[in-house]
Amino acid sequence: MADTPRPSAPSGLDDLAVRERWLRQRRARAFAARRSGLIALWVAVAAVVAWLFVAGFAGLGH
């Protein structure tokens, strides 16, 4: 009787599933943060290039 676990005894599988789900969500958030950072960087670079382009043509007009 001692060899069989009680039905109410925690097996640890629930904790493992929670941890795996938490790690998946953490990786997804990290990926989203990296992606947002890259998008912000591209937008900033494009804004600077556009400003230089406009300033250059304005300088040529004078």
Judged on CB neighbours under 10 Å (0-12, 13-18, 19+), 60 is exposed
Q: What is the DSSP letter of 3?
A: S
23-42 pLDDT, tens digit each: 999 999 998 889 999 999 99
* Higher pLDDT among residues 6 and 43, named by residue: 43
> Residue 24 is encoded by which pair of tokens?
């998946």
Residue written as tokens 């009680």?
A: 6
Name the average pLDDT for the chain.
Answer: 85
Report in angstroms the alpha-carbon separations of 24 from 7, 21, 29, 36, 57: 29, 5, 9, 18, 49
